[in-house]
Amino acid sequence: MYKEPILVRFGKRIQDCRKERQLSQEQLAELAGFHRTYIGMIERAERNITLCNIEKLAKALQIDICDLLK
């Protein structure tokens, strides 16, 4: 199954940031106001999320939104 490279990179970045902060997918989801399965889908590049949701993830991870897009 083909996955857009940008979604793969973004999902990996979310996963790396989450693990650096020693958060489970469930904990990150709770902090961001999402369901746990949504975080998993983002990390697996199965979802193309909105800018609003990217901002929520950045806030939950306590990092600048620009740092998620590196």
Quick one: pLDDT at residue 69?
85
What pLDDT is stored for residue 1 in this prediction?
A: 83
Pairwise CA distance, residues 49 & 65, whole Å:
14
Tell me the pTM.
Answer: 0.93
Task: Write the DSSP assignment of the chain as a string of letters.
Answer: ----HHHHHHHHHHHHHHHHTT--HHHHHHHHT--HHHHHHHHTT-----HHHHHHHHHHHTS-HHHHT-
Q: What is the pLDDT of residue 48?
A: 96
pLDDT tier, 70 (very low <50, low <70, confident <90, very high otherwise): confident
Q: Report, as an integer, the average pLDDT of 63-67.
A: 95
Q: Report all structural domains of the chain as residue ranges with CATH numbers, in order of start.
A: 5-63 (1.10.260.40)
pLDDT tens-digit series, residues 12-62: 999 999 999 999 999 999 999 999 999 999 999 999 999 999 999 999 999
